[in-house]
Amino acid sequence: MPVRKAWAFLCHKLIYVKHLIAMLTLTIPKQYEGAQSDNSFSIKANNMAQAKQLYARAKENLLQVNSWGKLAGGLSARFQLINHHGDALYREARANDFIKIKLPVAGKNYDWVQIEAIQETQQENNHQISMRVRPANDPQSTEKHPEHFFTTDATSSFIIERIGERVTAAVRGRNELPNMQTDNFLQKIRNAIIGLVAMLGLNKPQWKALAKGFLTKRIGRAR
């Protein structure tokens, strides 16, 4: 009997790892240059019903981009969902929407990303939703290069996943390099400083706080 239990436990763990790898492969680009960052927060629910409720709440928080600043709290950046015409949006995020980001120490400049994918998967007792964003231009700008401190090779993946009774929120950055393509000298200096700070991991508190906020806070639809 102990052997059977050990074998069953091992099989369960192998299935867990297989599903986790499958879900991450769908979401996170391969790391091939620059820095990468991984920040997460996890809660083990008391039962399956509670875990499903927690996942549903965290999913809603993820899609309410305008509330991310409140979810992270403190001196968080501020996030505003924007459409292709440059108008503010007050709804759940969708693929191809833009996000205007106001960093707390970046002066009057804004950083821009575009949501290139939102996908939700469910396999047996596992559930995941992810949003991947990439540096972009202000949709109303004629600027040739991305208006962000990272290059367009960089991505950030925001992930909510439930595996059994455990729910995890994660923010995973890949291929993070300072954007030095702009023709504006002062902008180059700004991007170099902020990009280096982020690559050194000094933005981890921001993303850790947001990941925790996804799971522990309940904020209504952004206005």
131: its two tokens: 């949003």
Q: 85-132, pLDDT tens digit by residue?
A: 999 999 999 999 999 999 887 567 899 999 999 999 988 789 999 999
Tell me the residue range of the domain where 196 lies: 37-216
Residue 8 lies in a domain: no
210 part of a folded domain: yes
CATH number of the domain where residue 75 is located: 3.30.530.20
pTM confidence score: 0.84
- CA angle, residues 40, 37, 100, in degrees to nearest 5: 90
pLDDT tens digits for range 151-165: 999 999 999 999 999
Give residues with Cβ within 8 angstroms of 189, minimum separation 6: none
Structural domains of the chain, count: 1
Within a domain: 20: no
